[in-house]
């Protein structure tokens, strides 16, 4: 699981951050300076990349936050097992079982290539190639 350090104030909507070692996509960042001698505070609103979660964190604007390096891989669908799809990575030929998104259920079949996002043990199918 690769990650690189950054600051909270450097994040823009659409970028990715790690909160409690789980990847999130930044929805909004609000920065406010509370007074003459206070340090700026940042309110970061984020939604989960691999799970439907929302998080709001408030930290100093200069606080360090990690940015995940999400791998984008090409995979082939081997079979369907209930709501999941068994996929094979076309680079290292490893097989995994991943939940098939509802929007792709009628569009993909066995043998099709799909784009998969991977970070650590989290995996998700993003779309058909």
Q: What is the pLDDT of residue 9?
A: 92
Distance, CA of 67 to CA of 11 (rounded, Å): 9
Taking residue 110's Cβ as centre, other Cβ atoms within 10 Å add up to: 11
Strands (E), the chain: 3-7, 16-19, 22-32, 41-48, 54-60, 64-68, 71-81, 84-89, 95-99, 113-119, 122-128
What pLDDT does residue 92 have? 92
pLDDT score at 43: 95
Q: What is the pLDDT of residue 55?
A: 95
What pLDDT score was predicted for residue 11? 95
> Which of the listed CATH numbers 3.40.50.720, 2.60.120.10, 3.40.50.1370, 2.30.30.30 matches domain 3-68?
2.30.30.30
**So what CATH class is 71-128?**
mainly beta
pLDDT (tens, 9 = 90+) of the chain, 129 residues, equals: 799 999 999 999 999 999 999 999 999 999 998 888 888 999 999 999 998 999 999 999 999 999 999 999 999 999 999 899 999 999 999 999 999 988 888 889 999 999 999 998 899 999 888
Q: What tokens does 4 get?
A: 């690189």
User: Model pTM?
Assistant: 0.84
- Locate CATH 2.40.50.140 in the chain: 71-128
What distance in Å separates the CA atoms of residue 98 and residue 114, rounded to the nearest whole number?
12
């Amino acid at each position: 699981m690769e990650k690189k350090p950054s600051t909270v104030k450097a994040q823009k909507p659409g970028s990715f951050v790690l909160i409690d070692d789980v990847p999130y996509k930044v929805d909004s960042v609000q920065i406010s300076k509370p007074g003459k001698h206070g340090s700026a505070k940042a309110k970061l609103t984020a939604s989960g990349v691999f799970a439907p979660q929302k998080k709001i964190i408030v930290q100093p604007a200069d606080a360090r936050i990690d940015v995940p390096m999400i791998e984008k891989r090409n995979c082939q669908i081997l079979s369907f097992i209930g709501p999941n799809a068994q996929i094979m990575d076309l680079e290292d030929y490893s097989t995994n079982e991943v939940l098939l998104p509802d929007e792709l259920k009628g569009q993909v079949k066995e043998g099709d290539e799909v784009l998969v996002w991977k970070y650590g043990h989290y995996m998700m199918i993003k779309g058909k190639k």
